[in-house]
């Protein structure tokens, strides 16, 4: 028995998230079915980030124990049977007992916003289109406030399975670049890395930051939420299609 | 009456090309319907490049004569009624009698190839996935051979409405950049500008160049086709989903 590590990219649009659920098309369900088809037997897969419905991944990491395989060959065979919206970017051997979820030191997410008066057909389902003006320095101030250790209770649903609400944010910054193809406006990306994330955490952070950036909420109010404010005081949950699990560090 | 100029981007996937056809969903048909809905009366639209089914555009240009309109307001109203896969990037007043097709000095197309052993869900329908090795210097030599004036009979269907087969190629080069999101391999783009293009011309050029790049055809053979060889001696027509009408010069 060998331990395998997969790096997986997917367009989350057609899936009901990662976690396998009976009767629903999920990324984890598709990966499990592909592995079973290739290996003959079912395997138990663990994953670094259980993304929600519609959320994308550039660098999801999964692990499983199974028979010895040639890594490149395993990736090729998986891609041949997986749906087009899921791609195994790399397969590699891992140390015995490696667990993609438990051993992850941090996760990095990226939330993409098309800040433009005109929509882009090429960002449809790939970025949140935001035609209203945004003050970049206010977004930056929000991101700076998020850095460090906070109680993020305000940024996850009230009905929760989480038991610990503190998270350590190692990086949080907005970056911008011209839209591609060229068009008015720009793409704003929130890059956020933390030890772990709670359900909806990035999306509620972004939804609340956009209220600050648009002038509908003060920076002081935003900062106050980071001390464990109630969910109802934070902003809306930004839609899933702007969110990407970018990378996982071990 | 004022003359208007529209710059339009579209994801060609769901459309049967630009040219309106009864019973089919076309980009031109959607734009005409949106204009009629806003202006009340039908208008005659001319367009710089009548793209085929599945071909995309970053900078299509269309013109029409109609009532005076505030440009930004016209773009906003069109985007509100157009399908999400079509976006008016800009509307602007044009000189009286401006005709997007007749007045175009040149068109620039881009053909995108994902040269990688692994597919990308984010390039699905956006680039041709090409897992076989490609020799870049052979592709570059093909592009250099295309520069200038040639008889491109070999690069358009035999059944044709074209009467003149010479075209003047002003720019033809392969460019590469890392795939985004990061993954093995790279994105190769053929950028080609000419006074005008024949039907399928870029796609047959790319299909034939890929044969040269993969070693299945000699550069000498490719160059010989540029002197008016027959269609059946050229390579396959590359699929439409890698092709973009990038820009039009006036």
The most distant pair of C-alpha atoms in chain A lies apart, rounded to whole Å, by 57
- When pLDDT is cut at 50, 70 and 90, the band that residue B65 belongs to is very high
The predicted-structure confidence for B110-134, as pLDDT tens digits, reads as follows 999 999 999 999 999 999 999 999 9
**Average pLDDT of the segment spanning B204-213:** 98
pLDDT score, position A118: 96
pLDDT at A162 over 90: no
Contact A181 B246 (CB under 8 A): yes
Active-site residue, B52 included: yes
pLDDT at B153 over 90: yes
- When pLDDT is cut at 50, 70 and 90, the band that residue A106 belongs to is very high
pLDDT score, position B97: 93
pLDDT score, position B172: 98
Query: In angstroms, rounded to a whole number, what is the distance separating the alpha carbons of residues B171 and B194?
Result: 7
**Average pLDDT of the segment spanning A33-60:** 97
Q: How big is the A-B interface in CB pairs under 8 Å?
A: 79
Closest residue in A to B123 (Cα) is A85
Contact B183 A89 (CB under 8 A): yes
Q: What tokens were used for B178?
A: 């890392």
Residue A243 belongs to what H/E stretch? Answer: strand A243-249
Dihedral angle, C-alpha B12, B15, B18, B23, nearest 10 °: 180
The predicted-structure confidence for A10-25, as pLDDT tens digits, reads as follows 999 999 999 999 999 9
**Residue to substitute from B78, B89, B177, B243, interface A, most A β-carbons within 10 A:** B89
pLDDT score, position B161: 87
**Partners of residue A82 in chain B, C-beta under 8 Å:** none
What is the average pLDDT value for chain A, to the nearest integer? 97
**CB within 8 Å of B35: residues ≥ 6 apart:** B42, B43, B45, B64, B66, B78
pLDDT score, position B12: 98
CA B141 distance to own-chain centroid = 22
Say if CB B193 and CB B171 are below 8 A apart: yes
**Partners of residue A9 in chain B, C-beta under 8 Å:** 120-122, 181, 183
- When pLDDT is cut at 50, 70 and 90, the band that residue A161 belongs to is confident
**Average pLDDT of the segment spanning A75-98:** 97
Contact A181 B124 (CB under 8 A): no
- When pLDDT is cut at 50, 70 and 90, the band that residue B162 belongs to is confident
Say if CB A80 and CB A37 are below 8 A apart: no
* CA proximity to A185, closest of A136, A245, A249, A152: A136
Q: Is B186 on the interface with A (CB under 8 A)?
A: no
pLDDT score, position B223: 97
CA A158 distance to own-chain centroid = 20
Query: In angstroms, rounded to a whole number, what is the distance separating the alpha carbons of residues B1 and B65?
Result: 6
Report the range of poorest mean pLDDT among A108-112, B158-162, B178-182. Answer: B158-162
- When pLDDT is cut at 50, 70 and 90, the band that residue B47 belongs to is very high
Of A11, A41, A52, A72, catalytic: A52
Query: In angstroms, rounded to a whole number, what is the distance separating the alpha carbons of residues A152 and A147?
Result: 12
pLDDT at A221 over 90: yes
**Partners of residue A84 in chain B, C-beta under 8 Å:** 119, 121, 124
In A5-34, the residues whose Cβ lies within 8 Å of chain B are 9-11
Contact B121 A58 (CB under 8 A): no
Region of residue B10 (left: phi > 0; alpha: psi -120 to 50; beta: else): beta
Query: In angstroms, rounded to a whole number, what is the distance separating the alpha carbons of residues A30 and A13?
Result: 14
In B107-136, the residues whose Cβ lies within 8 Å of chain A are 117-122, 124, 126
Query: In angstroms, rounded to a whole number, what is the distance separating the alpha carbons of residues A26 and A18?
Result: 5
- When pLDDT is cut at 50, 70 and 90, the band that residue A216 belongs to is very high
* CA proximity to B200, closest of B147, B239, B142, B143: B239
Q: Is B181 on the interface with A (CB under 8 A)?
A: yes
In percent, how much of chain B has pLDDT > 90? 97
Helical residues (DSSP H) of B98-245, grouped into ranges: 136-146, 201-213, 219-225
């Amino acid at each position: 028995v060998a331990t395998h590590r997969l790096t997986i990219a997917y367009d989350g649009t057609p899936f009901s998230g990662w976690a396998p659920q009976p009767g629903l098309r999920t990324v984890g369900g598709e990966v499990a079915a592909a592995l079973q088809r290739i290996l003959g037997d079912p395997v138990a897969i663990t994953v670094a980030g259980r993304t929600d419905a519609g959320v994308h991944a550039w660098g999801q990491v999964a692990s499983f124990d199974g028979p010895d395989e040639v890594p490149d060959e395993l990736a090729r065979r998986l891609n041949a049977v997986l749906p087009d919206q899921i791609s195994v970017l790399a397969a590699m051997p891992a140390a015995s007992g490696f667990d993609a979820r438990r051993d992850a030191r941090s996760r990095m997410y990226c939330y993409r916003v098309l800040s433009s008066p005109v929509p882009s057909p090429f960002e449809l389902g790939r970025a949140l289109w935001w035609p209203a003006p945004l003050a970049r320095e206010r977004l930056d101030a929000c991101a700076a406030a998020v850095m460090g250790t906070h109680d993020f209770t305000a940024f996850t649903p009230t009905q929760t399975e989480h038991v610990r609400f503190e998270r350590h944010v190692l990086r949080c910054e907005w970056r911008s670049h011209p839209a591609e193809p060229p068009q008015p406006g720009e793409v704003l990306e929130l890059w956020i890395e933390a030890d772990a994330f709670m359900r909806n955490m990035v999306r509620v952070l972004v939804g609340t930051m956009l209220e600050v950036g648009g002038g509908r909420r003060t920076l002081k109010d935003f900062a106050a939420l980071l001390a464990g404010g109630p969910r109802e005081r934070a902003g809306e949950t930004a839609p899933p299609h702007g969110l990407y699990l970018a990378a996982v560090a071990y």
